Structure 1
Amino acid sequence: MLEHCKIDSTAILIFANSSKEELKYKTIPKGSILFDGLTEHALNTARKTGLPYFLISEKEQNGNSFGERFVNAISSIFAMDFDNVITIGNDTPQLKASDLGKASRLIGATKFVLGPSKDGGFYLMGLHKSQFDASAFSELPWKTNTLTTKIAALIAASNIDVIQLRVLLDLDTNADLKRILKGLKYSTGKIFQIILSLVAHIRRIIVQGYISLSLKFIGTYFNKGSPFHIIN
Structure 2
Amino acid sequence: MTTAAPVAILLFTRSAAEEARHKRFVGHGPPGRNVSVAAQLIHHAQATAALAGVDVVCVDSSQQTGATFGERLADAMQQVFGLGYEQVLVIGNDCPQLAPHLLRQAVAAVRCGKTVLGPATDGGVYLLGISRRWFEQACWQALPWQTRHLGAALQQVCRQHKALVEFLPLLADVDNEQDLVRVLHQPLPRALRRRLRHICFAKPILRVSSSRRVRRLATTAQPHRGPPVTGTYC
Q: What TM bracket, shorter-length normalisation?
A: 0.7 to 0.9
Q: Does the alignment pair 1:165 with 2:168?
A: yes
Q: Take 2:128 and 2:12, find their aligned partners in 1: how far apart are those partners?
A: 11
Indicate the residue corresponding to 1:106 in structure 2: 109
8 A Cα contact 2:24 2:175, kept in partner: no
Give 5+ residue unaligned stretches, structure 2: 27-32, 205-234
1:98/1:109 Cα in 2 relative to 1: closer, same or farther (>3 Å)? closer
The number of aligned residues is: 197
Query: Structure 1 runs of 4+ off > 4 angstroms?
Result: none
SS for the counterpart of 1:49 is: coil
Give the equivalent residue in structure 2 for 1:119.
Answer: 122
RMSD between aligned alpha carbons? 1.6
- Equivalent runs, 1:48-197 vs 2, <5 Å: 48-108=51-111, 110-184=113-187, 187-189=189-191, 191-197=192-198
Read off the aligned partner of 2:8 and give its amino acid letter.
Answer: A
Q: 2:20, 2:201 → 1: CA distance?
A: 20
Would the aligned equivalents of 1:19 and 1:32 in 2 still touch at CA under 8 Å?
yes
Distance across 2 between alignment mates of 1:197 and 1:6? 39
Hey, what does 1:224 align to over in structure 2? none
Structure with higher Rg: it is 2
Residues 177 and 199 in structure 1, CA contact (< 8 A), matched pair in contact too? no
Percentage of identical aligned residues: 29
Counterpart residue type for residue 195 of structure 1: L
The 5-angstrom pairing of residues 212-227 of structure 1 reads: none
Query: 11-20 vs 157-166, which deviates more?
Result: 157-166
Deviation at 1:195, TM superposition (A): 2.0
Residues 67-94 of structure 1 deviation map (CA, whole Å, 9 limit, x = unaligned): 0000000000000110100010001111
Q: CA deviation at 1:129?
A: 0.4
* Structure 1 residue 113: Cα displacement: 0.3
CA displacement at 1:6 relative to structure 2: 4.2
**Paired AA for residue 14 in structure 1:** L
- Measured in 1, the distance between the counterparts of 2:187 and 2:151 equals 24
Q: Unaligned 5+ residue runs, structure 1?
A: 206-232
2:194 and 2:2 mapped to 1: Cα distance?
A: 31
Return the TM-score normalized by structure 1. 0.80
CA distance in 1, matches of 2:40, 2:90: 19
Residue identity opposite 2:190 in structure 1: T
Match of 1:200 in 2: 201
Which secondary structure state, in structure 2, belongs to the residue aligned with residue 183 of structure 1?
Answer: coil
SS in 1 for 2:76: helix
Structure 1: distance between partners of 2:52 and 2:161: 30
Report if the CA contact (8 A) 1:9-1:82 is conserved.
yes
TM-score with structure 2 setting the length:
0.80
The separation in 2 between residues aligned to 1:134 and 1:161, in whole angstroms, is: 20
Q: Pick one of 23, 43, 47 that aligns with 1:40.
A: 43
